[in-house]
Amino acid sequence: MDTSFVSQPASVSQSNIVRILEELPLLEGLDSETIMRLARGAAEVSLPSGSIVFRQGDTPAALKIIVAGQVKLSIQTARGDERVIELIGPGKAIGAVAVLLGERHALTAETIADSVLVPLCRSVLLEELERNPHFSCRMLREVCRRLQQRTRDFESCMVLNGAQRVTGFLLSQIPDGNNGKSVAVTLPAKKGIIASRLNLTHEHFSRILHEIQAAGLIEVRGREIHMIDVRRLRAFPG
């Protein structure tokens, strides 16, 4: 059963919950009455890194919205290995498909940084979706966008080699609007987690980073990656 939040609520007033929800991109533009209804029974929850939000097979009780921190979504393979499917940051929701369908979670969600989440009660959420077409369309777009991204990730694993997956991931970390020749970014998670996200072993991922660095395209300093020549990196290993 999805009960991760029952024992760890933070002491936050309802007005603060409303303010938090109003600032979330997913709920942007919704009227105050809708926000107030969604806030019923919601609480801000602080979880340390390494906390399980829900497990694969749990029954969904609420849609979890990430206010701060980061969560990884993963599955366990038949061999017992963990395969990271997605890394989710602030402003995004997790567990939407299970909540909307009323089916058990297909993935496990675990914080990989100290995080703050707000759970929206499933019954309140479904009631609001039936009442508010604008909110329903917003949720539908969000679910479709995420499913489309997972399809692209699956396609990448099928048709791209390891080096292409790594360079593509690095380039995806460049902030929007940054068109410079060089740029420094910080990896959003430990290298082992990112490797799993790209369907690579940790060793293979590290080896590819070393090869790209040896080609003079990046400098690796722990989790900080300095892309020396973005244009040439886009062509690697072509």
- Written as six digits, the tokens of 25 are 């991109």
Mean pLDDT, 10 residues at a time, the chain of 238 residues: 51 78 88 92 93 97 96 91 94 94 96 96 95 92 92 90 95 83 93 95 96 96 94 84
pLDDT number for residue 5:
52
- What count of residues does the chain have? 238
Q: Give dist(CA 164, CA 236) in Å, integer.
A: 7
Widest CA span of the chain, in angstroms? 57
* Domains present along the chain, CATH in parentheses: 14-158 (2.60.120.10), 161-235 (1.10.10.10)
pLDDT number for residue 7:
41
- Is there a contact between 90 and 68 (Cβ–Cβ < 8 Å)? yes
pLDDT number for residue 238:
52
Q: Give dist(CA 54, CA 5) in Å, integer.
A: 9
CB neighbours of residue 166 within 10 Å: 25
pTM equals 0.85
pLDDT number for residue 176:
82
pLDDT number for residue 8:
47
pLDDT number for residue 78:
83
Q: Give dist(CA 119, CA 77) in Å, integer.
A: 28
Let me know if 148 is exposed, middle or buried by CB neighbors in 10 A (0-12, 13-18, 19+): exposed
- For the sheet with 52-54, list strands across it: 52-54, 108-111, 71-76, 82-88
